[in-house]
Amino acid sequence: MIYPFILKNFVLPLGSKLMGGGISKKIKEYESILSLQPSEIAEVQRKKLNQVLEYAVQNSPYYRSLFSDKNLPSSEISSYPILTKQNLRDKIDEIITVKETANLHQILSSGSTGPPSKVYYSSEELAIPRAIQLIWWSWADYEYGNSILQTGVNLNRSKEKQIKDFFFRTKYIEALKHNEEQILQELSSLQSENRDHFVGYASSLFLFSKVALDNEIKNVQFKSVISLGEKLLPNFRESIEKAFRCKVFDTYGSSEGLMVASQCKHGTYHIMSPHVFVEILDENGVEVKPGEIGSVVLTGLDNFTTPLIRYDIGDMAVKGDSGACACGLNLPHLGEIIGRSTEFIQTQNKKYITVQTVVRIMKFYPQIEQFTLIKKEDNSLQLQYIGSENLSEDIESQITKSFSNLYDEFFEIDFLKVNQLPRRKSGKYQLIMNLSQDSK
């Protein structure tokens, strides 16, 4: 019990002081805000939103130019245009509010839907998403001093991150090159020296759970598993919780550093509203009703260096309700996270095949271990799959008929058995790939 106390009260504050940013201070600030009543949290958000809007128009050449021939915009967020990923890539030098970037932190997006974009943070601004991450982990029963196994895309850890890994007892392993032998070695290590928490990409967590279940490894258990970076599919969650006998806590954010929402113990996605203003918009840019699907549009409330106002991150989600949650958090809710807009396939009759639909159909075919449904550039469909043997014509026919019956229209699907499923440029796994949309 001594080490957690030292880590929280001495190591973390000292590290914050030496490296700048003040993570400990930001944690306390946000914990204080989260203890407020719903109306008080909403007021904090409103004030921070007004500050960001005003600051952007006064200090960002991009936003100043948008209103140069008009009166300064009001605090009404709808008076600001949608910022697309292409806008951000093309206009970043005009969007930022400082002239000198040498002392700033640069964050690159994953580039999964095109060339990567970049945003800039000061040390103090960057401390906020890091503080929020630790708060989210506390919702998943993380305590200072707990040991962590974490998967990620880059093993070239900076000196700062290596120091963080050491003090936070984190073993960091690569997520993109897992094979069964490597996973078995890691699971064997966990049997002799277990870790308290497992953090990583959803597909990486799933592969670990699948190998554990297939090899009947039953003595690896965590306090919790924390999913990030990818869509957590229902079958992924089920497999992970079964293999490691603990709850999975899903987190949701943008690669530009905006921490959007995280699950509590009751499974509710709580929006970090003091940090980000979330809009769920329909095709006409109008806020959808609770329970409806729309595009996720974000306004960051803590980054004044790179103000992102009404930034369309390319995701779709269900708008949540405003009811209370039994966990006691007084934050608004986000409904189901659907995924990227490119993770939809539009049929000839203008209907949508979603991730949820594919999972619903494919769960009846255990012969297929993993799969990706692809809409190719010529608009034809192909199901690539991993399995112990080739599918029979009868099974292929059944799967095709399932899609046709569900959508009440004709489908023709090409089936291809592969050793490895395709991934995006970022290395992330996708259950649906819309190449006809990606190529635009």
CATH of the domain at 258: 3.40.50.12780
pLDDT band at residue 13 using 50, 70 and 90 as cut-offs: confident
The mean pLDDT of 408-416, rounded to a whole number, is 91
One domain for residues 268 and 361:
no
Say yes or no to pLDDT of 44 above 60: yes
One domain for residues 113 and 210:
yes
Q: Report the number of distinct structural domains present in the chain.
A: 2
pLDDT, tens only, 199-258? 998 878 988 998 899 999 999 999 999 999 888 888 889 999 999 999 999 999 998 999
Token pair for residue 429?
Answer: 């796994």
In this prediction, residue 235 carries a pLDDT of: 81
The more confidently predicted of residues 399 and 351 is 399
One domain for residues 280 and 138:
yes
pLDDT band at residue 438 using 50, 70 and 90 as cut-offs: low
Residue 194 and residue 187: Cα distance in Å, rounded?
9
One domain for residues 48 and 135:
yes
One domain for residues 361 and 388:
yes
Single out the residue in 340, 355, 371 at which a domain terminates.
Answer: 340
Single out the residue in 320, 340, 360 at which a domain terminates.
Answer: 340
Residue 14 and residue 5: Cα distance in Å, rounded?
13
Single out the residue in 325, 340, 355 at which a domain terminates.
Answer: 340
In this prediction, residue 439 carries a pLDDT of: 44
What range defines the domain where residue 35 resides? 2-340
First vs last C-alpha separation in the chain: 55
One domain for residues 112 and 8:
yes
- The backbone torsions φ and ψ at residue 287, rounded to the nearest 5 degrees and listed phi first, read -60, 130
User: With the CA atoms of 333, 338, 341 and 342 taken in that order, what torsion angle do they form, in degrees rounded to the nearest 10?
Assistant: 150
One domain for residues 38 and 84:
yes
Say yes or no to pLDDT of 341 above 60: no
The more confidently predicted of residues 408 and 216 is 216
- Domain of 403: which CATH number? 3.30.300.30
For the chain, percent of residues with pLDDT exceeding 70: 88
One domain for residues 307 and 356:
no
One domain for residues 28 and 58:
yes
One domain for residues 284 and 354:
no
Residue 352 and residue 159: Cα distance in Å, rounded?
46
pLDDT, tens only, 342-396? 566 778 876 667 666 787 788 788 888 888 999 888 878 999 999 888 999 999 9
Q: Mean pLDDT for the chain?
A: 87
Q: Which amino acid is at 204?
A: S
One domain for residues 258 and 363:
no
pLDDT, tens only, 256-291? 999 999 999 999 999 999 999 999 999 899 999 999
Residues 6+ apart with CB under 8 A from 177: none
Residue 203 and residue 306: Cα distance in Å, rounded?
31
pLDDT, tens only, 300-323? 999 999 999 999 998 889 999 888
Q: What is the DSSP string of 132-181?
A: HHHHHHHHTT--TT--EEEEES-----HHHHHHHHHTTEEEEESTT--HH
One domain for residues 308 and 400:
no
Asked if 318 and 336 touch (Cβ cutoff 8 Å), the reply is yes
